[in-house]
Structure 1
């Protein structure tokens, strides 16, 4: 049993689901040329309920839409899933300039002749990868239209002027979607119906503590508890609309602890990675007050780490 399946067992995932994952992996081996695309995630996603929903969806042949607010671990889970299923990943970050030819591919001149350059969706489809469609609700409608036949029961991709391509049995697409970001829009019903939608919850205190300790195993328990409570207090203020979600940043919290481990005192480290991400002076003062009430500004690494 590989390390990822051991992790699933530790998370309390059903043994039947783990067995099905093992069988899937044995049946679908990744070509050697693409093994470098199998992710080795820096962070783990914690949450038995979400894990079981996601694993069962993929085993059932579904594509997944991970929706939820900032800092709920959508991209972490997407990378974790690819690692668990030992699948190569093709990442697509949607923005205004992503069009159908960028996704599928286009003709290009290689210096001697015109050849077809495959796009990430076509490469993923052919090679049994997991396509991570990041911020899918920022995409233009004409770009998304090309995905319809890929994501539904047809599982094919028709490239004009070329052969009709059927998807590899192992191919899945995992889309992520944040609420309320600038430039986002509601997904149309036709596209949304092609996904199993998982509503991502905010991380709880216990799992956040596990995440910090896994990244920094020598952090002192009482100090770790203070960082967890600091994050939850910022989260509470964001939920009540006292502040925006700019300071609600798990990556920022872990980054601040990393700076402290390198020798920067707690005050400047938290300012750089959390407080200064809010650019409104009034909001920055509110976040700073929360930090000052919870974490002394002069803690050094000898105090924070064992």
Structure 2
């Protein structure tokens, strides 16, 4: 592990990290399908670089952010972006309260302000779902200045030295728009692919220790076929979501595999032909 990460851990006085992926699984953490990806992202965090996680739905971006929070023992504040996201959702809002018999106006701090002041992680999920005009308010937070003038209070906030920003995007999905260059250039970007092979099998076996060998094999084979059809352009990316696959596995411990895949994967797809293809793939492995 990079000495810069170890040094940062000592600075924050947190426990020593053991380079053992099984430990991360047991703690519900993220496992990287790409060598060095996990450590490279940690280095970016230590260097105070805003981190952008790009990948399909269900590839583990939120789990990765949660694992970083666990690794550094740093609380995380989440912002779920949508077209309705506004400055108040990010920074906070004024409200009228009764205090010592008097009516006063108090400012309730939002996730950005809280994370900056406390040195916590700010996780911005689906950042490309937000309206482009909403996000420029974060530009000074994300660049070398690491500061913000709160338009609601006039307060100038300088970020705590441990303040970290992690954002995630699902590229090409309905309702998303390309990030403007001024915003994108403030991030260090990492592509987060789906888990596969030995790592995926290990997660399944750890999460479902009572599952039979034949059930695990069926789920693994179905997943491989789904990924192939995604790569061939015949299925949407969400058909190969690890999150959905684990949902299917949980159901399959109690109901037939075919129905489990139908509920957890096929029914989530909007295209009827894609739904049919998923079930045809299942039928090649489940009789």
Q: Of 69, 80, 89, which aligns to 1:93?
A: 80
Residue ranges of structure 2 left out of the alignment (5+ in a row): 15-25
- Normalising by structure 2, we get a TM-score of 0.87
Per-residue deviation at 1:229?
Answer: 2.1
- For the aligned residue pairs, the C-alpha RMSD in angstroms reads 2.0
1:219 to 1:155, Cα distance in 2 relative to 1, 3 A: same
1:17, 1:55 within 8 Å by CA — same for their partners in 2?
no
1:132, 1:175 within 8 Å by CA — same for their partners in 2?
yes
Q: Of 40, 54, 58, which aligns to 1:53?
A: 40
Aligned to 1:293: 284
C-alpha separation between the residues in 1 aligned to 2:75 and 2:213?
37
- Normalising by structure 1, we get a TM-score of 0.82
C-alpha separation between the residues in 2 aligned to 1:269 and 1:238?
20
Matched, 1:44 2:30: yes
Superposed, which structure 2 residues align to 1:216-295 within 5 Å? 216-261=208-253, 263-295=254-286
Greater relative contact order (Cα 8 A, min sep 6): structure 1 or 2? 2
Residue ranges of structure 1 left out of the alignment (5+ in a row): 1-13, 28-39, 297-306
1:100, 1:142 within 8 Å by CA — same for their partners in 2?
no
Q: What is the DSSP-based 3-state SS (H/G/I as helix, E as strand, rest coil) of the residue aligned with 1:207?
A: helix
1:130, 1:174 within 8 Å by CA — same for their partners in 2?
yes
Q: What is the DSSP-based 3-state SS (H/G/I as helix, E as strand, rest coil) of the residue aligned with 2:209?
A: coil
**Residues 260-303 of structure 1 deviation map (CA, whole Å, 9 limit, x = unaligned):** 33x2222222211122222433221111010111233xxxxxxx
C-alpha separation between the residues in 2 aligned to 1:178 and 1:24?
34
C-alpha separation between the residues in 1 aligned to 2:260 and 2:171?
29
2:58, 2:238 within 8 Å by CA — same for their partners in 1?
no
C-alpha separation between the residues in 1 aligned to 2:262 and 2:272?
13
1:46 to 1:242, Cα distance in 2 relative to 1, 3 A: same
C-alpha separation between the residues in 1 aligned to 2:275 and 2:259?
14
